[in-house]
Amino acid sequence: MTRGFVAATITLLIGFSLLRAEREQSQESPLVQLIFPKEFGKPTLPIDNKLTKERISLGEKLFHDTILSIDGTVSCAACHVEEFAFSDDVDLSRGFEGRLGKRNSPPIFNLAWKNHFFWDGRARTVRDQVLQPIQDHLEMAANLNQVLYRLTRRKSYREDFKKAYGPGEITSEMLSLALENYLLTIVSGDSKFDQSLEKKVKLDPLEDEGRRLFFTSHESGGAGCSECHSGPHFSDFTFRNNGLRPAPDLNDLGRNQVTGKEKDKFLFSTPSLRNIAITSPYMHDGRFKNLTEVIEHYNTALHQTPTLDPALKKQGLQLKAAEKKALLAFLQALTDPQFVEAAK
């Protein structure tokens, strides 16, 4: 028997086993179909962690449970609040014993279309991301073995994990998969702007002027916002230096802290602008309290560094008062009221 034949046989058997396991899982737990606007395109969903009612329910329960923190006082939901589109309303996150974090908590939605997580992109998948805050000494400060021990001692969690992932001990991998399953189902895509594209409503004149400014380049008389905040998610999912003066007390080098590359200094993930009106404060360090301050930042001279994004004008946009008002109105039209209401 040749090595090639053996390898092919093993591959076939593994494939058959995975297929059979998936069928058995599907028979016991029908798969949940993710509902989203067609403009979003195909989401990236893990083939080894299919969405099921049991897994989603377990992940949601874990997300809101303080059992994941060292002293049982902090949950994931403490920094990702539903009414703020799963973001926070403070500049820097507060964790265990009120410890001050180093960055603002970003909103959580449409994660199935993202290719990196955290402001510096240090996690590539949701399952890689979810365990880090649990263990971070400024956030939940827990030891994973201790967390797993607590979960195992609770009968309800033993039963929930068994329903979701089958019999066996509760592991850190299963914990991350359950949280991933839930987080991937948080979808937002029904703002007034979206409804206007479907001809269900019309933007008012001020919002429509803001829309024109947003999608028109600066050279053509607009604000050029869509050069970075592009596509159906209002983000190109890249890393950029947007001209912020570094906060001396934080010493945050952004993406550079992950790659070590000079060209990545002060680069941060480009956030989605969906639901932006309800996710204040803004920027990676929460320095701006409202959208008026954000617009003013881009409207005036930006802080000059070698890595300043070339898409930004060094002298600022220099928009007139009426134009700034219109741009603000359009940004407010990106709020998805149904999503916010359903999340409460």
Which backbone phi and psi does 239 adopt, to 5 degrees?
-115, 135
Ordered by start, the domain boundaries in the chain are 29-183, 192-343
Residue 208's pLDDT band (boundaries 50, 70, 90)?
very high
The reported pLDDT for the residue numbered 28 is 59
Question: What type of residue is 52?
Answer: T
More confident residue, 122 or 343: 122
- Averaged pLDDT for residues 39-58: 97
Say whether 68 sits in a helix, a strand or coil: helix
Instruction: Please check the confidence at residue 250 and state whether its pLDDT lies above 70.
Output: yes
**pLDDT of 19 over the 70 cut:** no
Q: Are 49 and 29 in contact (CB under 8 A)?
A: no
- SS3 of residue 65 by DSSP: coil
- Which of left, alpha, beta for 188 (phi over 0: left; psi -120 to 50: alpha)? beta
pLDDT for residue 3 is more than 60: no
Whether the per-residue pLDDT at 108 is higher than 80: the answer is: yes
Q: Do domains 29-183 and 192-343 have the same CATH topology?
A: yes
Rounded CA-CA distance 178/204 in Å is 42
Fold of 29-183: Cytochrome Bc1 Complex; Chain D, domain 2 (1.10.760)
Q: For residue 310, how far is the Cα from the chain centroid?
A: 25
| Residue 1 pLDDT class (50, 70, 90 cuts) | very low
Instruction: Please report the pLDDT score of residue 336 as a whole number.
Output: 97
> Among 239, 213, 240, which residue's Cα sits nearest to residue 226?
213
What distance in Å separates the CA atoms of residue 334 and residue 147, rounded to the nearest whole number?
38
Mean pLDDT of 21-32: 59
Q: What is the mean pLDDT of residues 82-98?
A: 95
pLDDT single digits (tens) 68-83: 999 999 999 999 999 9
d(CA 224, CA 343): 32
Q: Is the pLDDT of residue 24 over 50?
A: no
* Residues forming a β-bridge with 288: 282
- State residue 299's pLDDT score: 95
DSSP track, 161-211: HHHHH-SS---HHHHHHHHHHHHTT------HHHHHHTTSS---HHHHHHH
Residue 8 has pLDDT above 80, yes or no: no
d(CA 227, CA 115): 19
Interacting residues of 5 by C-beta distance below 8 A, sequence separation 6+: none
Q: How confident is the model at residue 314 (pLDDT cuts 50, 70, 90)?
A: confident
255: helix, coil or strand? coil
- Cα 305 to Cα 243: distance, rounded to the nearest angstrom: 8
Beta bridge partners of 87: 81
Can you read off the two tokens belonging to residue 23?
A: 């069928």
Q: What is the pLDDT of residues 184-194, one digit of tens each?
A: 999 999 999 99
Residue written as tokens 């299919």?
50
Residues paired with 123 in a beta bridge: 117
Q: Are 241 and 266 in contact (CB under 8 A)?
A: yes
Residue 175: predicted pLDDT: 98
User: CA 212 to CA 35: how far, in whole Å?
Assistant: 29
The number of beta carbons lying within 10 Å of the beta carbon of residue 174 is: 20
Long-range contacts of 221-230 (CB under 8 A, 24+ apart): 223/298, 223/317, 223/319, 223/323, 223/327, 224/311, 224/317, 225/273, 225/327, 227/311, 228/270, 228/309, 228/311, 229/270, 229/272, 229/273
**Model confidence over 280-300: pLDDT tens digits?**
999 999 999 999 999 999 999
Average pLDDT, the chain: 91
Would you say the pTM of this structure is higher than 0.85? yes
Task: Given CATH 1.10.760.10, say whether it is the number of domain 192-343.
Answer: yes
